[in-house]
Structure 1
């Protein structure tokens, strides 16, 4: 194994949470292609143990194959001690943290089923733990290292979505997404003038393993949706482009929720198949605005 200095060099160091599969994996792969050192976190460590496949180790190896350095870290983001250990490892091995992508999210059974919220299992509230709380606690633990890396213009990206503004999968899901956006705004207030930027990012309809399993079961039903679906790597490409841009671009966007397709278009990023992404703002709405008032 290479030593920390050999592994990092002058490359930017990222942590992508919840990256065994799905959007997190796509983000990690895109960052690998851009040459990042990527710490990939998740609970899946045994191949075949999850019905959708994927492990942190497999994603880390794919990151390395793309040209970056992938480092798999088993981490349950409900466990504060495990998150603290993750950040301590990044500090010890890399010395800096340039990019934190808070993507870890729980998708409990029944959250996408029809019916009122009282007809769905109560365990959908686990989204508050892995989705909302985990975004806060991971950033809390990482904040000192991010601030110590301020000269490198670090960036925090909190993955949110259109559920923050429209009804999507019920009130629990919507509350998590709205909470992530407001948390992002308020984190940016605390981080203002400290060299660290933080944004929320809203992906569109994604071609993840979970989504494509549903699509493949009834292709005719989803025929129209396929034309606007995004590959998970598009989000990673947009994040890499934002992070690689001038610090002013990050500072100007700090505290805002950004629609991923629109950010990609602004930064000249296309999807992996060359398509120009399509914003869903017209059909689903756009991010909320908040008061400029600050009461401490």
Structure 2
């Protein structure tokens, strides 16, 4: 069991979804956790949930518009003033494009507005970098800290629309390159890939009656084996407690690999399906029947897995119908 007593954390975009789940777990392990979002009332609901769990950690909601440079600057100034310059963890999770991705998944990139780039990568890629700069300035003074970009397999494999994958690949590269500059200050920077996560928005999407049969089946197969929003939070808590975290800096890390290494389960007592498992990869390509016969423990080595993703052309029921024309 890891302890984060005395640690000061910041999770951006934490009013719901993965960010909320991460904040709940960090406070469960004893951390003081600042959480941000555009709606203070939604953030206060997370704070209230933390209090009802009677955990040793503390949740501090801060309204912040992550598309505003000044708002972000004030956020870090506040943390520095209130915590005497201490910041042990930044989780870059703020992202405003989920609905846009769901609404435009069936359009080719040339049929979308140029604004799609900013919609997907402003509060996301650009803001992740901006927050990393502010956090690094605090962490290097204390010669310790961890920055985590929440990314995904979309950095290697096509998903939904091109700006999504471009942004995720850039987040992975951000962790790799920033880690070089931060290494001599004992500050780690990693890119974390959760698998499919059953967030509130995903739950609503699964109930959408307008889904095609193929897309509905694909989504239900994927998210019936998904992580809860709190599973990535468990993983980050364990990374925070890793005395050899600098050996991981600059790397892409899968949440399910952290779970396997530390032998913990999701909050529902289950093991999410590992994205490196052959079962997961076959199911992701729509080969459900074949996938049912494959044991979940049969996994592809990480190096080979990354190579396969780099070379693969997406074969998934989640792709646009026009892509098969």
User: Residue 10 of structure 2: SS of its match in structure 1?
Assistant: strand
Of the candidates 79, 93, 104, which is equivalent to residue 94 of structure 2? 104
Map 1:81-230 → 2, pairs under 5 A = 81-95=70-84, 96-107=86-97, 109-112=99-102, 113-125=105-117, 126-150=119-143, 153-217=144-208, 221=217, 222-230=219-227
User: Residue 28 of structure 1: SS of its match in structure 2?
Assistant: helix
How far apart, CA to CA, are the structure 2 residues paired with 1:287 and 1:263?
17
1:79 aligns with 2:76: no
Of the candidates 43, 63, 68, which is equivalent to residue 56 of structure 1? 43
Q: Structure 1: which 4+ aligned runs deviate by more than 4 Å?
A: 284-288
How far apart, CA to CA, are the structure 2 residues paired with 1:65 and 1:122?
44
How far apart, CA to CA, are the structure 2 residues paired with 1:256 and 1:286?
14
How far apart, CA to CA, are the structure 2 residues paired with 1:62 and 1:141?
29
Q: Give 1:293's aligned residue.
A: none
Q: Which runs of 5+ in 2 are unaligned?
A: 285-303, 308-325
RMSD of aligned C-alpha atoms? 2.2
Map 1:3-14 → 2, pairs under 5 A = 11-14=6-9
Call closer, same or farther: CA 1:190–1:64 in 2, change over 3 Å: farther
Call closer, same or farther: CA 1:276–1:10 in 2, change over 3 Å: closer
Call closer, same or farther: CA 1:129–1:223 in 2, change over 3 Å: closer
Superposition deviation, residue 111 in structure 1? 2.1
Q: Which runs of 5+ in 1 are unaligned?
A: 1-8, 47-54, 289-296
- Do 2:87 and 2:145's aligned partners in 1 also have CA atoms closer than 8 Å? yes
How far apart, CA to CA, are the structure 2 residues paired with 1:171 and 1:142?
29
How far apart, CA to CA, are the structure 2 residues paired with 1:243 and 1:168?
30
Provide, for residues 125-173 of structure 1, a one-character-per-residue CA deviation record: whole Å limited to 9, x for no partner: 12211110000001111212111232xx311111000100000112100
Provide, for residues 103-127 of structure 1, a one-character-per-residue CA deviation record: whole Å limited to 9, x for no partner: 0012164423213112234332122
Q: Give 1:251's aligned residue.
A: 246
- Do 1:242 and 1:267's aligned partners in 2 also have CA atoms closer than 8 Å? no
How far apart, CA to CA, are the structure 2 residues paired with 1:14 and 1:129?
23
Provide, for residues 33-66 of structure 1, a one-character-per-residue CA deviation record: whole Å limited to 9, x for no partner: 11110000010224xxxxxxxx112112323433
Superposition deviation, residue 31 in structure 1? 0.6
How far apart, CA to CA, are the structure 2 residues paired with 1:65 and 1:176?
36
User: Residue 156 of structure 1: SS of its match in structure 2?
Assistant: strand
User: Residue 217 of structure 1: SS of its match in structure 2?
Assistant: coil
Call closer, same or farther: CA 1:65–1:109 in 2, change over 3 Å: closer
User: Residue 39 of structure 1: SS of its match in structure 2?
Assistant: strand
- Do 1:42 and 1:74's aligned partners in 2 also have CA atoms closer than 8 Å? yes
How far apart, CA to CA, are the structure 2 residues paired with 1:147 and 1:11?
18
